[in-house]
Amino acid sequence: MTKPLLILIAGPYASGTGGDPALMARNLARLEEAAWPIFQAGHIPMIGEWVALPVLSSAGASGPTDPLAAEVMYPTAERLLQHCDAVLRLPGDSRGADQDVAIARERGIPVYFSLEEIPAQAPVG
């Protein structure tokens, strides 16, 4: 029996939004749409913004367009990738997601480009 994979969902968040909070929220919702299928396959979904945004808030930043974001957003994903077993790269231009893929490949972590590529975890029991 193998353990469930911790899968980082990578795709556009701030890219192409011009800092518009509504567009960033829409992008986050799109990332989150992949969470349930990953969970159903027996794995644990993770999105870097789920960690980075509360870190920014607790640091007193005004949000993802705050200057402090540069010190939190990408470094959070890089740190998460030290714990992740795979990356799901969703379509769309994103420097951060491309960076996640590059880091994953450097570390020998599998990168999937569709939910269908993710192997299902055998049921426990």
DSSP state of 10: E
Total residues found in the chain within this entry = 125
- Residues 55 and 40: their CA atoms lie apart, in Å, by 28
CATH classification number, 6-115, choose in 1.10.40, 3.40.50, 1.20.120, 1.10.3470: 3.40.50
Cα–Cα distance between 7 and 80 in angstroms, integer?
Answer: 10
Question: If you average pLDDT over every residue of the chain, what do you get?
Answer: 94
The pTM score is 0.93
Half-sphere exposure in the Cβ direction for 33 (13 Å, CA): 12
What residues contact residue 3 under an 8 Å CB cut-off, 6+ apart?
none
**pLDDT mean over 87-116:** 97
Q: Would you state the pLDDT for residue 77?
A: 93
Q: Where are the domains of the chain?
A: 6-115
The encoded tokens of residue 116 equal: 């269908």
Model confidence at 1, in pLDDT bands (50, 70, 90)?
A: very low
pLDDT 10s digits, 8-62: 999 999 999 999 999 999 999 999 999 999 999 999 999 999 999 999 999 999 9
* Count of Cβ atoms closer than 10 Å to residue 96 Cβ: 20
